[in-house]
Structure 1
Amino acid sequence: MSDEADEVFGIAEVAERIGLAPDTLRYFERQGTVPSPQRDHAGRRRYTAADIELIRMLVHLRETGMPLADIARFTGADGGAADPARLRLELLTAHRRRIRERREELDRALDVVSRKIADYDDRSTGTPQRLERPDCALAFDVRGEGPPLFLVGAPAGRAGFAALARELADRFTVVTHDPRGIGESRAATGMAEPTPEVLAEDLAALVDLFTGGPALFVGTSGGAVTLLELVTRHPSLVSRAVLHEPPLVTLLDDAELTSRATAAFAVAERDPQRAVQEFFDLTGAGHRTGPGQTPPPHLPLPELPAGELDKNRYFLGRMAGPTVLYAPDVEALRRAPVALCAGALSHQQLARLATQALADRLGQPLVDMPGNHVGASAEPAEFARAVLPLLRRPDAR
């Protein structure tokens, strides 16, 4: 058998291996993106296996946005560089940094687009139903058939869960609602503050509207904190609760984090832009960080529109503080039918660290879920598939 390293290949064979048309290869060659191969006596291009691997690498670098000048330097490194290996290492390191920066930009754009899709999806469902409470009216939606499943957020409401609800509606009667002061559940004069205790009582009233018995729940972020209080106060209402990244700084035993969070909440009323920036940097929740990665300590946010600033005056000024600083009753939770999960791309972020701390105290595993802190809204189909096994009790068949 011949060794492939000694073989030579024509342009048609190379094009098929790399997945490009021969004319595209010729164009890249003219542009200096890929090196010119040796030619035989008839002038036909002859590529070695090493040529193919280099071309595949260079095409990949081009597709991921490496500047053509850098590609040319990478290609010609063996010819003119005193230390070609070091030059290529420097070029690749700089390119990796650009890719990571671009990925951060795309992740932020994806989150914005996902929220807008959820917003339009929610608007298309029509007028919500309402549950009258002593001091407010809660807006809620219902879709699907099957066992009741409540999707719970804080501040996320009907809009934030619209796509996930649609994914789960073929198996469950999915109920979503706007927490008091959010979305269509408008704040009213004299309305009680949106603490986890108050939000849990709102949720209990909503559950009573549908079933007198236990139900299924999925709570994300502040909604997971609401469920921690619900399962403590009303354990008979909970058949199974999946808690995704409750951002409890109280579980991290870190005075600096607590101080930074408190400072962000304190300025929310007069300077919501600053509060959003400080909370974003504190939590790292807008980033996608895998194992071994750490979110950047600071990433400047664009100026928020007036509507978003008003929302964050309420969320960061009134709801987030009691939620993030909530102290769960760990002993009561040891008996609770809860499953704990966190984004597979939330590593070294506050909410995942807190959820891991809670899992450790309860002696439970922490289950990886698709995406980061906003995986439920940004990747609803994948999140729905991953959450289904967690809704089953461990002793269920």
Structure 2
Amino acid sequence: MTTVHTLDVPGARLRYEVRGSGPLVLVMGSPMDAAAFAPLADALAADHTVVTHDPRGISGSTLDDPGQDSTPEVRADDVAALLDALGAGSADIFGSSGGALTGLALVQRHPGRVRTLVAHEPPLLELLTDAEERRTAVDDMISTFHSDGAGPAWRKFMTHAGYGDDMPMPPGEPSAQDLANSARFFAHELRFTTTWRPDPAALTAGPARVVVGVGVESTRLVTYPTSVALAELLGTRPVEFPGDHGGFMFHPEEFAKTLRGVLADG
């Protein structure tokens, strides 16, 4: 059974879901909402208490100021507030894409709140040797959104990410919520996520174990070298997960099995 809750945090009201029973694990993305992680959460819920949420300004999580920017630090503070609301001193965290950066910022800003963080394909473009060119490409995506709308901006985003024309897209026209989430992403999140840099000393100083995850089918994607670069900074090796960047959506049972193994090792 899945229960739906809301939580007031500074400047926003978060929508979150709780399912299952057992050790607590928070599963998150950004800008991906809770619905994107439902198959994985269902697969984990047999032996874990799984919490998913809509990041502030996305889907069911509303903002007091719609013009507020979304940074990994702000999102990390929201997750710390979620842990407080759950009565949890600490939890395991699985974060994918922008959610991986949320998890990394949580480890840095709130020592002791994370047991194991699995940072799946973090888009840490600043760790790449061509970071300046990547920054320019992101600026172009954002400019394209403001001038031409979400569709052309997403096409540039997918090309830069490494998908080209291979990225499976949902059928039909985007909903009003899809368009609102896209606007939030391009106007208030993308730049702050892709220009964020982790602090290796802070990530390794506390009790949290940080594991970098990467998809076995992601070698063509920009998040593959960013994941490898983060693992090198931490003195570890990435753990391979099924599928590519969205493997948790398309292979939830196999993905959950791998994630269970990683968490059990901690």
Query: TM-score, with normalisation over the residues of structure 2?
Result: 0.90
Measure how far apart 1:380 and its partner are. Answer: 0.7
SS of the residue corresponding to residue 77 of structure 2 reads: helix
| Counterpart contact for 1:265–1:316, Cα < 8 Å | yes
Counterpart of 2:238?
A: 366
Counterpart of 2:215 in structure 1 is 343
SS of 1:382's equivalent?
Answer: helix
- Give the match for residue 353 of structure 1: 225
Choose from 26, 33, 36 the match for 1:160: 36
- CA distance in 2 between counterparts of 1:146 and 1:305 reads 36
Aligned to 1:227: 103
Shift of residue 157 of structure 1? 1.8
Contact 2:126 2:196 (C-alpha < 8 Å) held by counterparts: yes
Q: Name the amino acid aligned to 1:322.
A: F
Conserved 8 A contact 1:266-1:317: no
**Structure whose CA Rg is larger:** 1
The match for 2:161 is 283
Sort the Cα spacing of 1:347 and 1:378 in 2 relative to 1 into closer, same or farther, 3 A.
same
1:262 to 119, 135, 139: 139
Taking structure 1 as reference, are residues 386 and 212 closer, same or farther at Cα in structure 2, changes over 3 Å only?
closer
The answer on 1:316 being equivalent to 2:186 is: yes
**Structure 1 Cα separation of the partners of residues 118 and 70 of structure 2:** 21
Decide whether aligned partners of structure 1 residues 213 and 278 sit closer, same or farther in structure 2, where only a CA change above 3 A counts: same
Displacement of 1:125 in angstroms is 5.2
Task: Output the TM-score relative to the length of structure 1.
Answer: 0.61
**Whole-Å separation in 2 of the counterparts to 1:153 and 1:317:** 17
Whether the 8 Å CA contact 1:136–1:191 is kept in 2: the answer is no
Counterparts of 1:104-119 in structure 2 under 5 Å?
none
If each structure's strand is expressed as a fraction of its own residues, which one has the higher value? 2
Contact 1:277 1:300 in 2 (8 A): no
Measured against aligned partners, the alpha-carbon deviations of 1:31-63 in whole angstroms (never above 9, x if no partner) come to xxxxxxxxxxxxxxxxxxxxxxxxxxxxxxxxx
Deviation for aligned residue 1:211: 3.0
Does the Cα contact within 8 Å between 1:144 and 1:173 map onto a contact in 2?
yes
8 Å CA contact 1:229, 1:328 repeated in 2: yes
Letter in 1 for 2:104: L
**1:349: how far off?**
1.0
Tell me how far apart the structure 2 counterparts of residues 132 and 325 of structure 1 sit (CA, whole Å): 28
Q: Does structure 1 retain, via aligned residues, the 8 Å contact 2:59–2:181?
A: no
Q: Distance in 2 between matches of 1:347 and 1:358?
A: 15
SS at match of 1:179: coil
* SS of corresponding position for 1:132: strand
1:78 aligned partner: none
Contact kept? 1:214, 1:237, Cα under 8 Å: yes
Following superposition of structure 1 onto structure 2, how do residues 102-181 of structure 1 map, counting pairs within 5 Å? Answer: 128-181=4-57
1:190 is displaced (CA, Å) by 5.8
- Unmatched runs of 5 consecutive residues or more in structure 1: 1-123, 288-295
Gaps of 5+ in 2: none
On the 8 A contact 2:95/2:103 being kept in 1, the answer is: yes
**1:1-397 to 2 correspondences below 5 Å:** 128-189=4-65, 192-254=68-130, 255-270=132-147, 271-284=149-162, 287=163, 296=164, 305=174, 307=176, 308-335=178-205, 336-394=208-266
Contact 2:68-2:188 within 8 A present in 1 as well: no
**Aligned with 1:235: secondary structure?**
coil
Contact 1:240 1:338 in 2 (8 A): yes
Change (3 A) 1:299 1:165: closer
Q: RMSD of aligned C-alpha atoms?
A: 2.2
